[in-house]
Structures are given as C-alpha cells and as structure tokens.
Amino acid sequence: MKEEVEILTLDADNIERLGFFCYKSQPKTQGYKKKLAWLRQRFWEGMRVKILYENGRSKAFIEYLPGEYAWRTVNAKNYLFIHCIWVVGKAKGKGYGSRLLNACIHDARAEGFDGVAMLTSSGNWLAGSGLLLKHGFEVVAQAPPSFELLTLGFRQADPPALPNDWDDRLQKYGSDLTVIYTDQCPYIDRLIEAVYNAGHKLGIDVRAIEFQDCEQVQRNAPSAYGVYSVIYRGELMSYHPIGGKDLVKRLEARIL
C-alpha cells in the first residue's frame, strides 16, 4: 500500500489541535504546557514547526526560525536556524528528514536569507551532521565537547559563528550546583527534577536559573546547546538528558 505523506505547518490557530510532535501523548504535563506557551510567543518572530504525516500519523518534524532569535549559543543573523529535526522509529530511511530539510531550505531562499544553519552533536539526542552534509552543508565551527555548527550558504556572507569563551561562561556561575533551563524543549522540565534529586542525595544545594529569552541564551549559556546545562564547581556536568544515577556519579567524582 502506497503511503500518503503530507507536511503541515503549525501556527497559532492550529497548534492546539495538532500539537507540536514531542510529548503529544502527554498534553497535560507541565513540560508540554510550557513548550506550547513558548511556541505561541515565538510565532511572531518567524518560528516555523513543520510536521510530516504518514497515512495521517505524525512521523517527523522540524523546528526553525530566523537566526537572530535562535535559542542556541550562536550568532546566526540572516540565516534560518534549525533547532530540531527528528524522524521516529520505522519512519527513518524513507527520506522524510530530507523532505523537511528541503522545506526549510526552500523557505530560506524564498525569503532572502543568506543560508540555513544548525547545531549538531554526536552521542546524544541531538541530530548528527550526516543528513546536513548530504545536502551540501559545511562545518564552520566547533564547540566542546562534541558540537558542530553547520551551514548551507546561498551567497557571499559572513557565516554563523560560535563563541570561544566557554570557560569564562562556566566560571560566572560559581561553585554552586546550578541548572540552567528554558521551555524550548518539553523534556527539560523532568530533567530539572532529576538535578534536585541528585543534589538532595548528596547534600548539595541546587540553584535553578531560567533563561527567559534568546538573548540570555546567546550571551550567557555555558554550552552551545544553550537551553539546558548542569554546572558544578565551574565544570559542565551535563547539557543533555542523563539518568539520575549517572548525574550522581559525575557529581561525586567532582566532589572528591
């Protein structure tokens, strides 16, 4: 049976009905509600979320917006910047990621942007660089521990860039166990609880700092991912989801 595939673009009118792909099965969770409110505030900035449906079921999505509003620690003015691109399970290998990426590239060309950019990483839930490289993207910058900034430029223009003051950014948060977070990712809400649990187990006070806008992320985040970081004694403990036991082990190693 031939699969019917369509791509729908979210907006303020249909997002309540369609959802935003992630956490769709748990719309009553705080993480989902916070992400929904966050997206509603982003549409006026040019945020786009496109969901790909296969036979009426959501299988993939892409989230992007003008680079000046990117919630990553990047300078990407006049580029469309991709936050996330994701294809689930058995839908992988069908070219759905390419369809969504091409839709973004089409928008960027049609709207006069200098190109498209995305931050990738390996060994975690962020997208790797493979798909982008196949579509002509190039690595223009790197950041610790495994981030790469890739761009597809349409014309002669300064490419997006990453900062190089990561150590200074880490030191400004002192020696406290600090979790930095935003509502950009709906899964972050449960990660904060894990940090508090780890701190309680080790007898360490936890300080939580919420970045309220993209400027705070770009100027102050201690990792390129930007929207979630766990810091202790001037060291980045995590910038992506890890189990509570793993976090405790990392903290214990830093205490010794």
- Asked if 39 and 138 sit in the same domain, the reply is yes
Write the CATH number for 207.
Answer: 3.40.30.10
Q: Which pLDDT does position 1 carry in this prediction?
A: 57
- The b-or-e profile of 125-136 (16+ CB within 10 A means b, else e) is ebbebebbeeee
Question: Are 185 and 117 part of one and the same domain?
Answer: no
**Total number of domains constituting the chain:** 2
Ramachandran angles phi, psi of 72, nearest 5°: -135, 160
Determine, yes or no, domain membership for 55: yes
- CA-to-CA distance for 69 and 64, rounded, in angstroms? 10
Asked whether residue 174 falls in the same domain as residue 242, the answer is yes
Question: End of a domain among 100, 126, 153?
Answer: 153
Do 22 and 52 fall within a single domain? Answer: yes
Closest CA to 32 of 40, 22, 42, 47: 22
pTM for the whole thing? 0.94
Are 19 and 138 members of one domain? yes
Range of the domain at 207: 166-255
Q: What is the pLDDT along the chain (256 residues), one digit of tens a residue?
A: 577 999 999 999 999 888 887 767 677 888 889 999 999 999 999 999 999 999 999 999 999 999 999 999 999 999 999 999 999 888 999 999 999 999 999 999 999 999 999 999 986 667 889 999 999 999 999 999 999 999 999 999 899 999 999 999 999 999 899 999 999 988 888 889 889 999 999 999 999 999 999 999 999 999 999 999 999 999 999 987 776 788 888 888 887 6
189 shares a domain with 128 = no
